[in-house]
Amino acid sequence: MAHIGVLPILKRFIATHDESGKAVFSNAISEENVVKPLPDKTAGFALRYATKDTHGIVISNGTVPIFANIAPNHLSPMHRTVSLDYGIVLEGDVELVLDSWETRRMKRGDVAIQRGMMHAWRNDSSTEWAKLVFVLQHCKPVEVAGQTWVRIIGLCRVYPNRLR
């Protein structure tokens, strides 16, 4: 089991029904969280459970919860998914950065709701890791000024000097 940073390891408990209809906990999927670190160890991600299958970051007609650990002094690449996202800060403080260079400081318990927009996440603490949970739900692609926006993951870098 991989662990990124000093944040607690979270478990998942999935309830289902047995053959008689009684509510029971499923053992079909491990309760342990498998965090997959990025090669440079600046962040780690864990797919917690998908309503259709466990492949891909967004599933058509399904939901995907993802836990993210973000290293101190880390700025993610700008990215976009074709999804409606709920991002909730569990530990630490982060900054949500939009491609317009607008930012919002988010603290524990704050929620970002976004749909198909270019954005990045920044942890500017020099010592503390941040943990977020995202729930992604597939949606129709966003159309702006006659253009349809598609998924872009990790192709654009944010320039930190633009954020100061």
Q: What is the CATH classification number for the domain harbouring 89?
A: 2.60.120.10
CA-to-CA dists, residue 71 to 15, 41, 46, 93, 110, angstroms:
32, 8, 15, 11, 19
Would residue 146 count as lying in a domain? yes
pLDDT along the chain (164 residues), means of 10: 55 74 76 66 59 59 84 89 89 92 92 88 94 89 79 51 41
Would residue 112 count as lying in a domain? yes
40: left (phi over 0), alpha (psi -120 to 50) or beta: alpha
Q: Distance between CA 156 and CA 147 in Å, rounded?
A: 19
What lies within 8 Å, CB to CB, of 36 at 6+ separation is 2, 44, 45, 46
Would residue 74 count as lying in a domain? yes
pLDDT at 45: 59
Would residue 109 count as lying in a domain? yes
pTM listed for this prediction: 0.69
- Total domains in the chain come to 1
Residue-range definition of the domain harbouring residue 62: 36-163
Would residue 150 count as lying in a domain? yes
Would residue 132 count as lying in a domain? yes
